[in-house]
Amino acid sequence: MKIKILHLYPDLLNLYGDRGNIECMRRRLLWRGIDAEVITHTCDDGALDISDVDIVFLGGGSDREQKIVCSRLLEHKKELQDYVEDGGVLVAVCGGYQLLGRYYKLEDETIEGLSILDIYTEQGKGRLIGNIVLEADFLDQKIVGFENHGGRTYIGSHKPLGRVLSGYGNEEKSGAEGVVYKNVIATYLHGPLLPKNPALCDHILTAALRRKYADFKGLTPLDDELENKANNYIVKRFVK
């Protein structure tokens, strides 16, 4: 078995080392004897072929970087929309999450998004920064992470990734964080999201393997004692 992971625009969208999420997916596949190939597509590359890609990763970036990347991303709108509608796995973090929506409205301009999700983002007063803990209805393990965003995202009738137990989330008020749509996981949780949350990483890998291999029976368990302890420590520290 083999999984091909595409890292989109690592040259611009890689805030707080979002790249570590790619390494985490790769290692957790290899440890189970499943091959993993990582390819990148940067702003200097032309055509984008995602016909044999199993997981697409879009990281976070500053408003400036999002403005640069947006026109490039829109050139591939149709391929990416079709990929998602066909059940393709897409993980988008922070700035990448915002760009999946209809638009991201800043004070002086509006960045057009891919409209893969029927959501929109508006810059608010001040930034929402800090540790965050979520509860997702499809995972036993709580999701822990760090958020830092000026944008507030309104997800309409979309299903959130999780309910905020500590932190801000999409727009501070609703108690919702991120979006789950088909095989899209979109979230404000930055940096080492997947190393901190092995159950979420395996959920994503399972979705990609199921889509590719009809006879896939499920991932073999790994020894996650340390990862689980670290996750649990953060939950205990922030959720009273």
Is 190 one of the annotated active-site residues of the chain?
A: yes
Nearer to ligand GLN, 102 or 149 (CB): 149
Nearer to ligand GLN, 42 or 62 (CB): 62
Strand 89-93 relative to strand 103-105, pairing: unpaired
Nearer to ligand GLN, 60 or 160 (CB): 60
Residues ≥6 apart with Cβ < 8 Å to 103: 110, 111, 112, 113, 120, 121
Residue 160 touching ligand GLN (CB under 6 A): no
Catalytic residue among 7, 41, 149, 190: 190
Mask of contacts with ligand GLN, 45-74, x by CB under 6 A? ---------------xxxx--x--------
Residue 11 touching ligand GLN (CB under 6 A): no
Phi then psi for residue 80, to 5 deg, are -70, -40
Residue 145, H or E segment:
strand 143-154
Lookup: tokens for 169: 């989330």
Residue 15 touching ligand GLN (CB under 6 A): yes
Out of 24, 80, 94, 143, the only residue in the binding site for ligand GLN (CB under 6 A) is 94
3-state secondary structure of 53: coil
Is 70 one of the annotated active-site residues of the chain?
A: no
Nearer to ligand GLN, 15 or 186 (CB): 15
Report in angstroms how near the CB of residue 110 gets to ligand GLN at its nearest.
Answer: 13
Report in angstroms how near the CB of residue 70 gets to ligand GLN at its nearest.
Answer: 11
Nearer to ligand GLN, 95 or 160 (CB): 95
Report in angstroms how near the CB of residue 107 gets to ligand GLN at its nearest.
Answer: 12
Comparing C-alpha atoms, which of 86, 65, 85 is closest to residue 8? 65
Lookup: tokens for 56: 């697409």
Cα 162–Cα 92–Cα 203 angle in degrees, nearest 5:
55
- Per-residue DSSP letters for 149-205? EEEEEE-TTSBPSEEEEES--SSSSS-EESEEETTEEEES--SSHHHH-HHHHHHHH
Distance (Å, whole) CA 187 – CA 96: 9
Out of 40, 81, 148, 206, the only residue in the binding site for ligand GLN (CB under 6 A) is 148
Active site residues: 94, 190
Residues lying near ligand GLN in the complex (CB under 6 A): 15, 60-63, 66, 94-95, 98, 148-151, 190
